[in-house]
Amino acid sequence: MTWRLLIDECLSPDLVELAIDAGHVESTCLRDRGLLGTQDWTLIKHVLDADFTLVTVNAQDFRGRGQNAPGGLYAHIELHAGLICLNSARSMDLRAQRVLFEEVLDALAELPDLTNQVLEVMEDENGEVSIIIYDLPSPES
């Protein structure tokens, strides 16, 4: 499956090239779409209208404080193409972004879709990486 990934401005636009090289040729970033500086609540409209899966480090803004906590922009959206969050207890420099995004691309290669789900990649202080996938909004919502 190919994905339409939209890389948030908090991440390097260089990740778009990695996505395209992995076969996700419709991937892009906020810079290339003229959306730098767009407020999150406005950005979400663009994401939904274009059926993108958003890739961000601003997990709390989009999914809320806990995995299924209300308050995030995706928490009450009935249908979305998925959300990808990169998290690290270490520095989120370009090297870390690339490493975590490669983990995302590997995981996406095994998934049929992310409809109404969040894929979170987390790196701990020791450099160990884990991936979790969960529903958002949660079925209880």
Q: Would you say residue 140 lies in a domain? A: no
Q: Would you say residue 83 lies in a domain? A: yes
* Residue-wise pLDDT tens digits, 84-112: 999 999 999 999 999 999 999 999 999 99
What is the extent of the structural domain holding 118?
Answer: 5-135
Q: Would you say residue 80 lies in a domain? A: yes
- The answer to whether 82 touches 116, Cβ cutoff 8 Å, is yes
**Reported confidence tier of residue 65, pLDDT bands at 50, 70, 90:** low
Q: How far apart are alpha carbons 60 and 129 in whole angstroms?
A: 19
Beta bridge partners of 43: none
Q: Would you say residue 82 lies in a domain? A: yes
- Which residues are CB-contacts of 47 (< 8 A; sequence separation ≥ 6)? 6, 54, 80, 81
pLDDT at residue number 139:
61
Q: What tokens appear for 49 in the block?
A: 């209208």
Predicted TM-score (pTM) of the model is: 0.91
Q: Would you say residue 141 lies in a domain? A: no
Indicate the number of domains in the chain. 1
